[in-house]
Structure 1
Amino acid sequence: MGWFDAPEYWFGRQMLERGTAAVYVLAFVAAARQFRALIGAHGMLPVPRFLAGRSFGQAPSIFQLHYSDRFFAGVAWFGAMLAAAVCAGLADLVPLGAAMVIWLVLWVLYLSIVNVGQVWYAFGWESLLLETGFLAIFLGNDRVAPPVLVLWLARWLLFRVEFGAGLIKLRGDPCWRDLTCLCYHHETQPMPGPLSWFFHHLPKPLHRVEAAANHIAQLVVPLGLFAPQPVAGVAGAIVVVTQLWLVLSGNFAWLNWLTILLAASTITDSAAGTVLPIPRSPALPAASLWFMILVIAFTTLMAALSYWPTRNLLSHHQRMNVSFNPYRLVNTYGAFGRIGRTRFEVVIEGTDERHITEQTIWKEYEFKGKPGDPHRIPKQWAPYHLRLDWLMWFAALSPRSRPPWLRPFVLRLLQNDRATLRLVRHNPFPESPPRFLRAQLYLYRFTTLGELLRERSWWHRTVVDAYFPPVTLANMQSAP
């Protein structure tokens, strides 16, 4: 049936599906490599303890049926291998029904991880991956033309990501309205990248241009996604360009890359072929009746679930990165409604001396992604996600409150726990655990060009206060 099929979007579908599979690979690998210390049976926030008071309806997950660290690792590594096979083209080699089952398995496995991940998985891009992955179930493979209805749902998702982010900024921090937010953001963002220093030192008029362009890209351009071609494709291309700018300026896990993939699905094969040497699409048969029925039912469900995020977008009390159901379908998105003017970092230090004096030498734990040693240039980690580093940034935002994972984290450092130490870049006590640990709150700022050339430092830092005083293993074990 002509109205149902959109063969001119074959390449866009390929980009979206294979790109989503690649992101799944990263997500599953990150889960496999980091879970033991974070949510393992003996982790900081153990899955069994979390599930003890929650029903399947509250936290749908296969781990409701059984949990062990070995089982979790098996799920994560199997998900990574299956996603890698899809990225390599598996879903296009099997019958349509089998391809849908493969995408469904990937979604179920990752949903199971996210729903037991607690605060470590409380990021908007987790829901974005699950929502995009669920759309992929109904996008079809090379046995059928891309269905128009699902392509429109992909645009609706992209619209919510961009327009929601634009609205939360306009309604939030006044620096977005006076166009000064980007005078601070590159320095105070959660995890700066290797080019963030250079972005921060752009002339202030260019920062205002950046902010104004951001408003246009997120509040005006998304409206064009629902226009006829070529307007929709141009809108999608603009989103791709602006997201690549964000990729260069910071580390936001796979948020920007999923947004780019969604935007690419709005561009027709003929338009993409004018700038890229894309392959010729195969012959795409019309959809069979059973597939049409499933897609129409799915579209109806998504339309019904869209009520809550639409109401949220229209509300003056807009919330960002909220899921309205435990299956993470049709969520609301947004980021940086508030921009910090200064950057604080929690620096954890240890000593193996028996007694603390004014001459005690404290050795610093280095993290992989977050700022630490002022002489070390920030690294590019995205689209890989360093969960502990991100939570350390949040901890520094509220120095008067202590996150629930902090005490078990410190306890495990005092024990030289191997799984926990894999999450940090450098352990200053490789032979035996430290006797004391403390945390200092530092004020960080990017150095000036003169300071960079003179001191070879990317950051300048000063101690502000003690984040927590020196503690010992006995202190931590006896504390309630």
Structure 2
Amino acid sequence: MPDWFHASDFWIARLVLQRGLGLAYLIAFVVALEQFRPLLGERGLLPVPRFIATVRFRDAPSLFHFRYSDRLLVVVALAGILLSLTMVLGLPDAWPVPLTMAAWLVLWALYLSIVNVGQTFYAFGWESLLLEAGFLAAFLGPAWSAVPAPILWLFRWLLFRVEFGAGLIKMRGDPCWRDLTCLSYHHETQPMPNPLSWYFHRLPGPLHRLEVLGSHFAQLVAPLLLFFPQPIASFAGLVIVITQAWLVLSGNFSWLNFVTIVLAASAFDDAALARILPLERAGTTVVVWHDGLALAVTALVVVLSYRPARNLFSREQIMNTSFDPLRLVNTYGAFGSITRERYELVLEGTHDERLTPDTEWREYEFRGKPTDPKRRPSQWAPYHLRLDWLMWFAALSPGYTPKWFPPFVEKLLENDPATLRLLRHNPFADRPPRAIRVVLYRYRFTTWKERRDTGAWWTRTRLGEYLPPMALSSDWVSDDS
């Protein structure tokens, strides 16, 4: 292959891409080990066996089509954790090219098996992002081999779609992105605020407009510069990294921001990255057959990019969609519309045998989503709280009850240990509640004065019942009986 085929100045970039993606996979498999069984296991809210009975293998390829059990899920998650650790520690750097490639492809296949049966609990754009990036990482080669330039360009193409897709969906969506007011609401109404979100929300209006302008530049201008020569490409990467770091500071978005920052490494040459990572570069060897394979993978991605690229420039642009069941080339985007008010579902239980106006109701507390107004929002990203995120979506449509919600309430009525481990606090540790109801509230961040006077981070207004009292026992009655 000619010299241009090898990115000799991107040795450190490859290291960052592989180690960073290994860490993201590690987090993803840890999340699966802890959360998959209560959400999607044999006794989960949306059991996988029921799902795979209605879906063909070719539409959602997964190892679990051959057999699913909670024990097998644990084996898959633990295997993913161990394999991810080898990537983080850089052990494959000394392996032969075929072994390195096989390790990444196994990692990708294991997580694909989880995502493709994860249903609504895995219907997030960062799942496909991690899979697409992990597939590309398989063809970067170990540290001793020459870096194939076409694969680095594919990483930039992926980063371009992530950012440019998000920028276009905003400009085509909510008018507040065009009049620069969206971030006057977003820090308060985002799915899961973090410890600094209250302070970001209280920034002056002109700074919120500056935030939106910065977002537009990072998502609509900087991605175009990724394909320019150095140092312009490095400048574009820096803009994207700074913007993503701002999002890390202001909210909890799972590993989306972390992976995007890792992808931005593909824009920095060794001269730029060596200022932060002063690593002694090893010599590299050209592997001819590996170069040929990299070229074939590039051709495959180019062909599969047709539909995602067409979607980017379509007036009917859709976001976070996979156009192939292997999730090799996807479309991305987020927050095309911004909610102006925050709604929360609060689950309350009681031991009372009869419902009266004096019934004592106790609230369940979630790990990340707001419930107690005096509890400061927590930092969880890059860890992903799947149930908390789905609770946010459920509150947006009070007239619609997702199919996982009634089973969730039933699990709480049973004091199911696996389900309760997904929560922060169970107010019925001694014995299960007799009944549970779900109340819809409107939440807003307190003002500076309210914060000083009450110590609360939120103030809330009760809007009504989302679900009336539910019970397992047929002898439980309310005052309406």
**TM-score bucket (shorter structure):** over 0.9
Using a 3 Å threshold, how does the CA distance of structure 1 residues 272 and 476 change in structure 2: closer, same or farther? farther
Query: Does 1:389 pair with 2:388?
Result: yes
**Preserved contact between residue 312 and residue 318 of structure 1 (Cα < 8 Å):** yes
Q: How does 1:330-409 map to 2 (within 5 A)?
A: 330-409=329-408
The aligned amino acid for 1:27 is A
**Preserved contact between residue 29 and residue 80 of structure 1 (Cα < 8 Å):** yes
Corresponding residue of 2:100 = 99
**Preserved contact between residue 15 and residue 143 of structure 2 (Cα < 8 Å):** no
The aligned amino acid for 1:282 is A
Q: How does 1:435-446 map to 2 (within 5 A)?
A: 435-446=434-445
**Could you list the per-position Cα deviations for residues 84-132 of structure 1 after superposition, in whole angstroms to 9, with x for gaps in the alignment?**
1211011102111100000000000000000000000000000000000
Using a 3 Å threshold, how does the CA distance of structure 1 residues 74 and 289 change in structure 2: closer, same or farther? same
* Aligned-pair identity (%): 59
**Preserved contact between residue 407 and residue 476 of structure 1 (Cα < 8 Å):** no
Rounded Cα–Cα distance in structure 2 between residues aligned with 1:473 and 1:19: 47
Name stretches of at least 5 consecutive residues in structure 1 with no aligned partner.
none
Corresponding residue of 2:280 = 280
The 4+ residue runs of structure 1 with deviation greater than 3 A are 474-477
Corresponding residue of 2:147 = 146
Corresponding residue of 1:252 = 253
SS in 1 for 2:267: coil
Using a 3 Å threshold, how does the CA distance of structure 1 residues 445 and 475 change in structure 2: closer, same or farther? farther
Corresponding residue of 1:180 = 181
Rounded Cα–Cα distance in structure 1 between residues aligned with 2:291 and 2:473: 64
**Preserved contact between residue 192 and residue 389 of structure 2 (Cα < 8 Å):** yes
Corresponding residue of 2:26 = 25
Deviation at 1:281, TM superposition (A): 1.1
Q: How does 1:310-349 map to 2 (within 5 A)?
A: 310-349=309-348
Query: Does 1:226 pair with 2:210?
Result: no
Deviation at 1:56, TM superposition (A): 1.0
Corresponding residue of 1:236 = 237
Corresponding residue of 1:47 = 48
Corresponding residue of 1:66 = 67
Rounded Cα–Cα distance in structure 2 between residues aligned with 1:278 and 1:189: 38
**Could you list the per-position Cα deviations for residues 189-231 of structure 1 after superposition, in whole angstroms to 9, with x for gaps in the alignment?**
0000100000000000100111111111100111000001110
**Preserved contact between residue 439 and residue 464 of structure 2 (Cα < 8 Å):** yes
Q: How does 1:295-314 map to 2 (within 5 A)?
A: 295-314=294-313
Rounded Cα–Cα distance in structure 1 between residues aligned with 2:407 and 2:298: 44
Rounded Cα–Cα distance in structure 2 between residues aligned with 1:220 and 1:379: 33
Using a 3 Å threshold, how does the CA distance of structure 1 residues 277 and 123 change in structure 2: closer, same or farther? closer
SS in 2 for 1:259: helix
Corresponding residue of 1:419 = 418
Size of the aligned set, in residue pairs, is: 475
Corresponding residue of 2:479 = none
Using a 3 Å threshold, how does the CA distance of structure 1 residues 185 and 239 change in structure 2: closer, same or farther? same
Deviation at 1:265, TM superposition (A): 1.9
**Preserved contact between residue 346 and residue 441 of structure 1 (Cα < 8 Å):** yes
Rounded Cα–Cα distance in structure 2 between residues aligned with 1:46 and 1:272: 45
**Preserved contact between residue 96 and residue 143 of structure 1 (Cα < 8 Å):** no
Corresponding residue of 1:136 = 137
Rounded Cα–Cα distance in structure 2 between residues aligned with 1:459 and 1:13: 44
SS in 1 for 2:330: coil
Rounded Cα–Cα distance in structure 1 between residues aligned with 2:101 and 2:276: 29
Deviation at 1:476, TM superposition (A): 13
Name stretches of at least 5 consecutive residues in structure 2 with no aligned partner.
477-481
Rounded Cα–Cα distance in structure 2 between residues aligned with 1:176 and 1:27: 31
**Could you list the per-position Cα deviations for residues 273-319 of structure 1 after superposition, in whole angstroms to 9, with x for gaps in the alignment?**
2x314212100112x22111111110000000000011001100100
Rounded Cα–Cα distance in structure 1 between residues aligned with 2:475 and 2:371: 25
Corresponding residue of 1:81 = 82
Q: How does 1:448-467 map to 2 (within 5 A)?
A: 448-467=447-466
The alignment's C-alpha RMSD in Å is 1.1
The aligned amino acid for 2:162 is V
**Preserved contact between residue 243 and residue 259 of structure 1 (Cα < 8 Å):** yes
**Could you list the per-position Cα deviations for residues 132-187 of structure 1 after superposition, in whole angstroms to 9, with x for gaps in the alignment?**
00000001111212110000000000000000000000000000000000000000
Rounded Cα–Cα distance in structure 2 between residues aligned with 1:440 and 1:46: 26
Rounded Cα–Cα distance in structure 2 between residues aligned with 1:340 and 1:29: 31
Query: Does 1:14 pair with 2:11?
Result: no
Rounded Cα–Cα distance in structure 2 between residues aligned with 1:108 and 1:172: 35
**Could you list the per-position Cα deviations for residues 239-267 of structure 1 after superposition, in whole angstroms to 9, with x for gaps in the alignment?**
11110000000000000011000101210
Using a 3 Å threshold, how does the CA distance of structure 1 residues 83 and 378 change in structure 2: closer, same or farther? same
Rounded Cα–Cα distance in structure 1 between residues aligned with 2:202 and 2:27: 32
User: TM-score w.r.t. structure 1 length?
Assistant: 0.98
Deviation at 1:363, TM superposition (A): 0.4
SS in 2 for 1:55: coil
Rounded Cα–Cα distance in structure 2 between residues aligned with 1:327 and 1:389: 27
The aligned amino acid for 1:387 is R
Q: How does 1:153-172 map to 2 (within 5 A)?
A: 153-172=154-173
SS in 2 for 1:462: strand
**Preserved contact between residue 19 and residue 261 of structure 1 (Cα < 8 Å):** yes
Query: Does 1:468 pair with 2:457?
Result: no
SS in 2 for 1:133: helix
Rounded Cα–Cα distance in structure 2 between residues aligned with 1:52 and 1:476: 36
SS in 2 for 1:349: strand
User: TM-score w.r.t. structure 2 length?
Assistant: 0.98
Rounded Cα–Cα distance in structure 2 between residues aligned with 1:336 and 1:137: 31
**Preserved contact between residue 411 and residue 476 of structure 1 (Cα < 8 Å):** no
Corresponding residue of 1:434 = 433
Rounded Cα–Cα distance in structure 1 between residues aligned with 2:184 and 2:388: 23
**Preserved contact between residue 348 and residue 362 of structure 2 (Cα < 8 Å):** yes
Corresponding residue of 2:119 = 118
Rounded Cα–Cα distance in structure 1 between residues aligned with 2:258 and 2:467: 37
**Preserved contact between residue 444 and residue 462 of structure 1 (Cα < 8 Å):** yes
